[in-house]
Amino acid sequence: MNVTITRIFPFLLVVLGVYLWIGYSITELTGGGRKSSAAVDISPEGGEAIYWGKGRCFTCHSVGGQGSAVRGPNHGQFGEKFPLSMGARAVERARERAEKEGVEFTAVDYVVESLASPGAYVVKGY
Amino acid sequence: MGQRQSSGIFGSGANPGRFPRLCLASLLVLGLAVAASPAFALEENVYRQFMGIDSRRLIWFLAQMHLFFGAFVLGVPLFAVIIEVVGWNNKDPKFDNLAYEFTSLLSVAYATTAALGGLLAFALFTLYPTFMGYMAGIFKDIMFLYALLFFGETFALYMYYYGWNWLKGGGLFSTKMQWLFKGISLVIAAFGLALLLGAIGPAMRVDTRWFILLLYILPLAVGFWIIRDRKSSHIFIGILLNVFGTAIMQLANSWAGFMMSPAGVDADGVLVGTVWEAFENILATPIAIHRMLGNLAFGGLVAGAYAAVKFIGAKTAEEKAHYDWMGYISNFVAIAALIPLPFAGYYLGREVYSTSAVMGNNMMGGDFSWTFIIQAMLVGSLFVISNYYLWSGMTRIPGAERYYKFIKYILFALIVSFAIWLTPHNLPLTSQEVGEMAGSQYHPMLKYLGLMPAKNAVVNLIILATFFSFLLYRRGNMEDAVSIRAQGKGARITILIVGGVAIALVAQYAVTMLQMDPAELDLPADRAEFIRMIGYVLVFECLIGIVAIILALTDRGKLGQAIYLAVTAFNVTIFLGVYGFVVMEKASPVLRNVAVSQFLQLISCLVLVAVIDAFLFKRAKSLGGMQWGKMTVRSQYALLLLTFVITMNMGLMGFIRSGLRGDWHIFGIMRDTSDWAYTPSNFVMTQQVGAAVLLFMIGCAFMFWLGGISSKKQED
Amino acid sequence: MKKPRVGSFLSVVLTLVVVYALVKWGIPALSREVTTLPFPLPVPGTLMFFYMVLTIVALFLFVTFSDEGLNDFLRPVKKFLRGGYTKSLRAVVLTAIPALIGWQVYEITVPKMEVPSSLRIQHPSSNFPKSFEAKKNPIANPTEADVDAFIEQAKANEVDFIPQVRDDVENWAEEVDPDHVLELFPTAAMQKLLAQLQSGDVDKDTARAALLEKNLFEGRALYAMNCRACHGDSVAGDGPMADGFKLRPINFTDNGTIETIVEGYTFWRVANGGPGLPAEATPWDSAMPEWKLSLTEAQRWQIILAEYDLAQKTPRIPESH
């Protein structure tokens, strides 16, 4: 039975490796896997699951190189148009907003407002 | 069946303890089934987790392992009994030993299957209590029967294995005894006839009726009929073993079928019909048919892998010759089961479509469209590698060089067909490519290769090409065809009857097509010509079939075969392939009839050409015997690869079948509200299936090793 | 065995080159010839990869199925390695191969601008509600009550049109001043109904056919108002706006589109548009509006009736067992 281990087992591993590679590349090709979205914790991962799942945020937004929708602004750093990350962008917007309206605004306030009532403050170009 | 009786046999056997464990496992399953509170489909679903593991993936993995071992345990006896019958018929002890060698692998596999089944059942009942409670409520009678059948299967298996040498030799039974068995056989046959005519039994779908008839009643009747001495009683036990195995599979299948196409319950999941209705749901039998053939192919290939491993490790020429031969026989059985498998799959797919167009669309055009591309890669490789194995085998046949020149044409046909099969309708594209193709998602020409008519045509061609390879292999060392006329009445009558049946199969569909009212397909009357055309093609096919028979009977059999093969290839692949597109354009519902007609022509061709071939080379002059063992080692790796591929494919198709339900436990009735109610990606699928295949193969290696040490001991 | 004229090795290399040329230039050229489209129509990269891998597999199988074949193939390679074709050639090739591999590795790893390739699922349906599956177009199969109501309207010459076409019908009526408003349709079915109206004996089948014509008229009008801009007059996905979309509007005359799906699915797609699609529909999301917001259910069905009629297609029939 030595032969099984030395010759056939590696052969099996190669075959399974090819199988995994096919599964991997096809999944990559077809837009990545889905994540569970029925019930998630309040955590970055949970948010991400909702973003790419039930929340359907990805139909309009992308995050950096992830996703391909361009209807809404990209939520990550991407190209010349989106030099800032989401957090830094929110800080800047909150400041702009506070200046304009004279009300105290934090970055969190801004993000929450954008989610709850997207039309409240629309950035130029959208 | 008394336990006392069985303990008498098993208590003294070599495996004390295994049987009680099995009984315990089945009883536990029963207990769980009974104890589970009757749940209703609309109650909120309770989910639990075990050690924080994703329950769905856990169940998936366990079910897959159980199914691999189960397929082994069902497939190998099928294979073993076929081999035993061949040996009994030929009076060749070589076959008998081969069958015994495989049976010896079974007992470990059987215990493992049962253990895994128990584990799966526990996992299901503990992790998905609401769902399983509901299922147990609907299927409690069936679950009881299932557990009871295990006693039968266990009994038959051990009787078959331990009784092998005991039931050898000896004289004929007394005439009275033989007549008794023949009488029982006739009673069973009469029962079968009554069932066929619908005189007894509940209302049934046609496919279920034939399934029961062909896989239970017919084998039992034949089994009783042949009993005349000890050996034939042993074969009868083998048949009984397979009947039990098939029944167990069919029962468990009905649960999976019910989850996809629930029947006998209302929209709230309350049982309004009978248990029989729930049991015989629409998809239950199509899945069972597909599984049955798959199991046979799988059994054959696992046996083939065993032979290949032994061949690679063989030290002497004799050993090599033996395992080379074993590999060939295994592969032959596997190919025989593989050939009708795509049609069983097509039938299953069609029934899935009819159950729900959502499931159907999801299967071919939705979430699973790319899983089907992987599936096409795997099935295509199965056929290509089988051919490769046959060609490699031709190198050990003296005289087969004469046929080498055909190989490149067969290969060409296979690869072109494979390429067309793999061409998806919608392709992954870069946006540059989209631009270069006029902004369309589809390539304006290649998109046609992605549509059903093209796929149907090439799958048929792949099967024909494989059959052709097999014909070449068969006549490798035959000098020339012999005269069929000289073989007397028997040969002529057999050809006429078998050929007649094959042609009748096509003819009856031709008549259907010539008479079909387009309104049946919701088509306007002016589309009738599209249906008639199929009829004309089939009539032509029948005529050529008759010509082929006449030619065969007048000693021009080779010409007859060639004409019939060529015409079938033309009709099925080229004419109906192209015609499929015309039909798709003008009368798309007729496409189904085109597919059925292709299938019937192909089957008729295989049957008729094979029967002519059988007599054409019966006792033909040989150019030299097979040089068993003079085979390249590469071919043995090909055999191994076949086994790996079919195993991976089984896992993949299980994923599709189960995943089609989307986020339903029971399609349309009970929603999956757990965290895992989404369709996993193909990568997740390959991980799950890959891990299961790896573990199964390790298990197989272990079983082969166990079989090896036990036989070594016997030799000592 | 006879010595083959072209060595096995050479024929393998030649086959590879020929197949590559066929796929790379042959198929696009043929496609341009057949479709007369003024585009390059290349074979997409993924397919190119499939085809070449298959060719290599086929050649591998062909060469290795027998030991003689494999030896034939390897003979020139061995001879070459032993320096049989002059040592300098060997030196050149053996340096070239690592260099080539190195270049390929560099090509793959060097960061560069690349268009990502992506795949769109053709009929995304994972969130398609099961209840829609068996839906039948109520406009194509009007109930007895609908037909009766229509007969009543026709008798009273007060046929009710949808608001979107009412003005047009009135304008036409002012201009022509017909005896009956249904004279708007100069078709056989309608003439028959009008004749029957005059004689006072209307049979249901005639009325049904006439009602269908009226619905088709309204459906076409709605199509022209709402759908034509993208899907085009010829329903071939070539409306004036079509070129503006990354994902071209679907061509209904193509066999792979509305003909392969059940009516309920078409209805669901029209109702929910791009925003209603599931995740697998990305990327290049459909830009189709959510028509349920601006059209009534009956109007959506009328459009679907008209679409199938204009494209000369029939919807997929839910199969029976």
Please tell me if residue A4 touches chain B, with a CB cutoff of 8 Å.
Answer: yes
Q: pLDDT: is C321 or A57 the higher one?
A: A57
Q: What is the pLDDT of residue B439?
A: 64
| CA angle (C40 as vertex; B423, A28 as ends), nearest 5 | 45
Tokens read off for B353: 């479509």
* Structure tokens that stand for C76 in this block: 């020139």
Say whether both C198 and C90 belong to one domain: no
| Per-residue CA distances from B116 to B67, B111, B625, B696 (Å) | 9, 9, 45, 12
Per-residue pLDDT tens over the stretch B12-47: 334 444 454 555 555 555 555 544 444 454 566 777
Predicted pLDDT at C117? 62
Helices (H), B314-423: 317-338, 341-355, 357-364, 369-394, 404-422
Beta bridge partners of A63: A66
Task: For B94-122, write each residue's pLDDT tens digit.
Answer: 888 888 888 888 877 888 888 888 899 88
Looking at A114-123, C12-21, C211-220, which range is the least confident one? A114-123
| Per-residue model confidence as pLDDT tens digits over A25-54 | 888 776 666 655 445 567 777 777 777 665
Those chains having 3 or more beta-carbon pairs within 8 angstroms of chain B are A, C
- Tell me how far apart the alpha carbons of residues B595 and B343 are, in angstroms, rounded to a whole number: 9
Q: Measure the CA–CA gap between B22 and B118, rounded to whole angstroms.
A: 9
- B394 token code pair: 């031709």
* C277 and C175 housed in the same domain: yes
Chain A contacts of C117, Cβ < 8 Å? Answer: 29
> Higher model confidence: residue A75 or residue A122?
A75
Residue of chain A whose alpha carbon sits nearest to that of C113: A79
- Where does residue B490 rank: exposed (0-12), middle (13-18), buried (19+ CB within 10 A)? exposed
Does residue C27 lie within any of the structural domains? yes
Query: Any CB–CB contact under 8 A between C312 and chain B?
Result: no
- Whether residue A10 lies inside any domain: the answer is yes
pLDDT > 70 in chain B, percent = 92
What value does the mean pLDDT take over residues C13-21? 93
Position C16 in a domain: yes
Which residues of B16-93 form beta strands (DSSP E)?
none
Signed CA dihedral, B184, B186, B192, B194: sign only: negative
C264 shares its domain with C188? yes
Give yes or no: residues C305 and C171 share one domain.
yes
Q: Quick count: other Cβ atoms within 10 Å of Cβ A108?
A: 12
The answer to whether C120 touches C247, Cβ cutoff 8 Å, is yes
- The answer to whether position C316 is within a domain reads no
| pLDDT at residue B678, rounded to an integer | 77
More confident residue, A64 or A8: A8
- With cut-offs at 50, 70 and 90, classify the pLDDT of residue B389: very high
The pLDDT of A95-115, averaged and rounded, is: 82
Q: Rounded to whole angstroms, how far apart are CA atoms B160 and B243?
A: 13
Q: What is the pLDDT of residue C164?
A: 86
CB contact under 8 A, A53 and C279: yes
Rounded average pLDDT over B636-658:
92
Q: DSSP H helical segments within C82-139, as ranges?
A: 87-109
B553-579: pLDDT as tens digits: 888 888 888 999 999 999 999 999 889
Q: How far apart are CA B641 and CA B633, in angstroms?
A: 13
- Comparing A83-97, B74-88, B322-336, B406-420, which segment has the lowest mean pLDDT? A83-97
Say yes or no to pLDDT of B256 above 60: yes
Chain B CB within 8 Å of residue A54 CB: no
In terms of pLDDT, which residue wins out, C278 or C175? C175
Tokens standing for residue C176: 């022509």
Q: In C, which residues are within 8 Å of B447 by CB distance? A: 256
Is residue C301 located within the same domain as residue C172? yes
User: Are C290 and C270 spatial neighbours (Cβ–Cβ below 8 Å)?
Assistant: no
Taking only the tens place, the pLDDT of each residue in B518-536 is: 887 777 777 888 888 899 9
Residue B2 has pLDDT above 50, yes or no: no
Span B465-470, mean pLDDT? Answer: 91
Number of structural domains, chain A?
Answer: 1
Q: What is the pTM assigned to this prediction? A: 0.77
Higher pLDDT, C40 or C211: C211
Contact C119 B423 (CB under 8 A): no
Task: Please tell me whether residues C166 and C294 are part of one structural domain.
Answer: yes
Going B90 to B91 to B94 to B95, the CA torsion angle's sign is positive
pLDDT on residue B10: 36
Instruction: Kindly state whether C46 is in contact with chain B, defined as any CB-CB distance less than 8 angstroms.
Output: yes
For the CA atoms of A115, A40, B371, B348, the dihedral, rounded to the nearest 10 degrees, stands at -110
Choose the closest CB to B679 out of A11, A34, A40.
A34
Cβ-contact B402, B480 below 8 angstroms: no
Flag whether residue C18 sits within 8 Å of chain B, measured between CB atoms.
no
| Tally of domains in chain C | 2
Rounded to 5 degrees, φ, ψ at B670 are -125, 120
Q: For the CA atoms of chain B, what is the radius of gyration?
A: 26
Mean pLDDT of C267-278: 85
pLDDT for res B461: 92
In the predicted structure, residue B645 carries a pLDDT above the cut 80: yes
Q: Of the given ranges (B126-140, B490-504, C188-202, C242-256), which has the lowest mean pLDDT?
A: C242-256
The domain limits of chain B are: 480-619
The answer for C 23-82 residues in CB contact with A (under 8 A) is: 46
Predicted confidence at residue B711, as pLDDT, reads: 65
Quick one: C256 and C144 in the same domain? yes
Distance from CA of C277 to the nearest CA of A (A): 9
Whether the per-residue pLDDT at C165 is higher than 80: the answer is yes
Among candidates B165, B177, B295, which has minimal Cα distance to B231?
Answer: B165
Look at phi and psi of residue B606 and say left if phi exceeds 0, alpha if psi is from -120 to 50, else beta: alpha
The stretch B344-353 carries a mean pLDDT of 87
Residue A119 falls within a domain, yes or no?
no
| Confidence tier at B647 by pLDDT (50, 70, 90) | very high
Within an 8 Å CB–CB cutoff, is residue C113 touching chain B?
Answer: no
Cα dihedral C258/C263/C268/C270 (nearest 10): 50
Amino acid (one-letter) located at B308: A
Model confidence band, residue B609 (pLDDT cutoffs 50, 70, 90):
very high
CA–CA separation, B418 and B412 (whole Å) = 10
Q: Chain B within 8 Å of C94 (Cβ-Cβ)?
A: no
Average pLDDT over residues C13-37: 88
Task: List CB contacts of B169: < 8 A, sequence separation 6 or more.
Answer: B230, B231
Which of the four pLDDT bands, split at 50, 70 and 90, describes residue B538?
A: very high
Closest CA to C152 of C110, C207, C106, C92: C207
Rounded CA separation B421/B342 (Å) = 13
| Cβ-Cβ contacts under 8 Å, B648 against chain A | 15-16, 19
| Average pLDDT over all residues of chain C | 84
Tell me how far apart the alpha carbons of residues B259 and B355 are, in angstroms, rounded to a whole number: 12
Q: Do C34 and B445 touch (CB under 8 A)?
A: yes
**B586: nearest Cα among B516, B528, B519:** B528
* In a shared domain, residues C103 and C147: no
- Contact call for A29 and C282, based on CB within 8 A: no
The boundaries of the domain holding residue A5 are 1-33
- The Cα–Cα gap between B276 and B258 comes to 11
Distance from the A51 Cα atom to the nearest Cα atom in chain C, whole angstroms? 11
Reported as a single tens digit per residue, the pLDDT across B205-240 is 888 888 888 888 899 898 888 888 888 888 999 999
Spacing of C-alpha C318 from chain mean position: 20
Instruction: Looking at the complex, report in whole angstroms how far the Cα of residue C191 sits from the nearest Cα belonging to chain A.
Output: 50
Looking at the complex, does the CB of residue A55 fall below 8 Å from at least one CB of chain B? no
CB atoms within 10 A of CB B141: 12
- Is the pLDDT reported for residue B474 higher than 70? yes
In a domain, C276, yes or no: yes
Domain that holds residue C67: 8-109
User: Scanning every residue of chain C, which has its alpha carbon at the shortest distance from the alpha carbon of B586?
Assistant: C313
pLDDT above 90 for B183: no
Say yes or no for a CB contact (<8 Å) between C116 and B430.
yes
Cα–Cα dist B624/B643, whole Å: 31
Of C109, C142, C160, the domain-final residue: C109
Residue C283's pLDDT band (boundaries 50, 70, 90)?
low
Other residues' Cβ atoms within 10 Å of the Cβ of residue C151:
21
Residue C102 — very low, low, confident or very high, per pLDDT cuts 50/70/90?
Answer: very high
pLDDT band at B62, cuts 50/70/90?
Answer: very high
Name the residue among A31, A52, A59 with its Cβ closest to that of C119. Answer: A31
What average pLDDT does this structure show over C157-184? 86
3-state DSSP assignment of residue C5: coil
The CATH number that applies at residue C141 is 1.10.760
Select the residue from C285, C286, C290 to test the A interface by mutation, using most A Cβ atoms within 10 A: C285
Q: Which residues in chain B are closer than 8 Å to C41, comparing Cβ atoms?
A: 436-438, 443-445
Q: Do B445 and C55 touch (CB under 8 A)?
A: no
Please name which of B59, B56, B71, B62 lies closest in space to residue B649, comparing C-alpha atoms: B71
Mean pLDDT of C252-273: 84
First to last CA, chain A: 69
Helices (H), B261-316: 275-279, 284-313
What pLDDT is attached to residue B31?
Answer: 56
Which chain A residues are closer than 8 Å to C282 by Cβ? Answer: 31, 58-59, 67-69
Distance CA C64, CA C73 (A): 9
Task: Using pLDDT thresholds of 50, 70 and 90, give the confidence band for residue B67.
Answer: very high
Partners of residue C116 in chain B, C-beta under 8 Å:
430
Residue where the block lists tokens 């089944």: B117
Within an 8 Å CB–CB cutoff, is residue A110 touching chain C?
no
How many beta-carbon pairs below 8 A join chains A and B?
99
Q: How confident is the model at residue B5 (pLDDT cuts 50, 70, 90)?
A: very low
Provide the mean pLDDT of chain B.
83
Q: What per-residue string of b and e applies to C242-280 under the rule 16 or more CB within 10 Å gives b? A: beeeebbbbbbbbbbbbbbbbbbbbbbbbbbbbebbbbb
| Least confident stretch, B77-86, B510-519, B666-675 | B666-675
Note whether C102 and C195 are same-domain residues. Answer: no
Higher local confidence (pLDDT), A109 or B500: B500
Which residue's structure tokens are 């549509």? B451
Three-state secondary structure string covering B451-504: CHHHHHHHHHHHHHHHHHHHHHHHCCCECCCCCCHHHHHHHHHHHHHHHHHHHH
Mutate to test the interface with C, among A68, A78, A80 (most CBs of C within 10 A): A68
ipTM of the complex: 0.80
Taking an 8 Å cut-off on Cβ atoms, the answer to whether B430 and C51 are in contact is no
* Min distance C320 CA to chain B CA atoms (Å): 5
